[in-house]
Amino acid sequence: MKINFVNLGCPKNLVDSENLIGFFKKEDVSSYHKADTVIINTCGFIEQAKRESIEHILRAVEDGKKVLVTGCLVYRYKEELQKEIPEAIFFENIKDLEGIELLEAPKRQITTKHYAYLKIAEGCNRKCSFCAIPYIRGHHRSKSIEELVDEAKYLKDNDVKELIIVSQDTLYYQEDNSFKSIIKLLEALEKLDFPWIRLMYLYPNSITDELIDFIDSSKSVLPYFDIPLQHISDKVLKSMRRGYTKKDIFRLLEKISSMKHKKPILRSSFIVGYPSEEEKDFEELLDFISQKLFQFVGVFEYSHEEGTFAYQLEDKIPKEEKQRRYKEVFNLSQDILEEKNNALVGQEIDILIEKKDKGRAFFQAPEIDGIAILDKKVSKTGVVKKAKIIGSIGTDLLVDV
């Protein structure tokens, strides 16, 4: 049997897919065209992701593949999917599949080079009105520090230079029922001497003074703050059940910007077209982003998801209006990023060389923040070295190594 894996969705899904691949012998894993069996790890978070997942399933069925499907879409709609697409097999646990030979001692297979995600927990206890994650993934469950250190050691042995910490709510990590557990975990991971450790998905209310101070003095945890704020209007934030206000956000950003030893880089993401978002709320969001507090900004159109608190609200904003708001935020964020990149020209920064002709600056997370294009090819990859920024190309950097 030749198997191809299709991973859809977020980095947390990628970790799940890498663990799935680990159940099979390396010689069984093949390209899509050579494979007779396709395993698809789906995303079912928002409408667009659901459509993409279904398109991949139908394509594989039409191509005559044996199709095995898992992931968030299956957790949400398994019965409906089995009824509508009987040609595919939908499963939640790969060990439940019959007729497939699995390795007794699976080992995670790293699908990226020089960086890897470490998923420290599963599920979420937050009650954000727009989010179906608690409904899909259940309550928050943290892995033990011992287990995570063992996994991180394995990643280090596989030449990973950047360890990226992820979960649905990273700072909620509570190995010992204490919110200081995340610092204990980071202290343990630092001892493994990764050049870079990056934190993702930081809920604003969980960013403590202790964490900011720890990052400021850390030898390897990057001063990269990925804080999904979702909005800035107090009215919208209240309806979203986020648990903080506009004043709280500015107070937090001021604390982070006051770091003594490092210059922090801020990333955030926002939702436009939420049911209670009026034009004045949207203008308030645009004004907030225009203040150029963030190096990187992600934006999503609101998706009306069953099982969420907001599903009882009327999804009254037309699709065309959501798209307009999306484009305005996207274009503004791109303009700001290009401006910030141009301001970096002449500076010397740390670069992780990933390929002979490109890498990433310490403030560029994989896949979402752009890349650093090398002015000349290098022979050695997988190293962190100083590079001078000599230009910018759109949202990417041009560097002299």
Residue from 234, 205, 199 nearest 220 by CA: 199
CATH architecture of 348-400: Beta Barrel (2.40)
* CA distances to 7, 106, 236, 369 from 92, in Å: 15, 17, 35, 32
Q: Could you give the CA distance from residue 60 to residue 35 in angstroms, rounded to a whole number?
A: 10
Residue ranges covered by each domain of the chain: 3-96, 115-342, 348-400
Residue 66 half-sphere exposure, CB side, CA atoms within 13 Å?
A: 9
Q: Could you give the CA distance from residue 289 to residue 328 in angstroms, rounded to a whole number?
A: 11
Q: Which residues contact 276 (CB under 8 A, 6 or more apart)?
A: 235, 236, 239, 313
The CA radius of gyration of the chain, in Å to the nearest whole number, is 22
Query: What pLDDT is recorded for position 281?
Result: 98
Region 115-342: CATH code: 3.80.30.20
The residue behind tokens 């980095």 is: 11
Query: What pLDDT is recorded for position 175?
Result: 65
* Axis crossing angle, helix 319-343 with helix 279-290, rounded to the nearest 10: 10
Q: Is 195 helix (H, G, I), strand (E, B) or coil?
A: coil
Give long-range contacts, CB 8 A cutoff, 24+ apart: 214-217. 214/183, 214/186, 215/259, 215/262, 215/264, 216/259, 216/260, 216/261, 216/262, 217/261
Q: Could you give the CA distance from residue 336 to residue 21 in angstroms, rounded to a whole number?
A: 40
Query: What pLDDT is recorded for position 104?
Result: 85
Whether 270 contacts 227, CB under 8 Å: no
DSSP state for residue 108 in the 8-state scheme: P
Query: What pLDDT is recorded for position 105?
Result: 84
Cα(first)–Cα(last) distance of the chain, in Å? 45
Query: What pLDDT is recorded for position 379?
Result: 87
Query: What pLDDT is recorded for position 401?
Result: 87
Query: What pLDDT is recorded for position 346?
Result: 94
| CATH superfamily for domain 3-96 | Methylthiotransferase, N-terminal domain (3.40.50.12160)
DSSP state for residue 305 in the 8-state scheme: -
Q: Could you give the CA distance from residue 75 to residue 79 in angstroms, rounded to a whole number?
A: 9
Query: What pLDDT is recorded for position 282?
Result: 98
Q: Per-residue confidence of the chain (401 residues) as pLDDT tens digits?
A: 899 999 999 999 999 999 999 999 988 999 999 999 999 999 988 889 999 999 999 999 999 999 999 999 999 999 999 999 999 999 999 888 887 888 888 888 998 889 999 999 999 999 999 999 998 999 999 999 999 999 999 999 999 999 999 999 999 998 655 556 899 999 999 999 999 999 999 999 999 999 999 999 999 999 999 999 999 999 999 999 999 999 999 999 999 999 999 999 999 999 999 999 999 999 999 999 999 999 999 999 999 999 899 999 999 999 999 999 999 999 999 999 999 999 999 999 999 999 999 999 999 999 999 999 999 999 899 999 999 999 999 889 999 98
Global model pTM greater than 0.75: yes
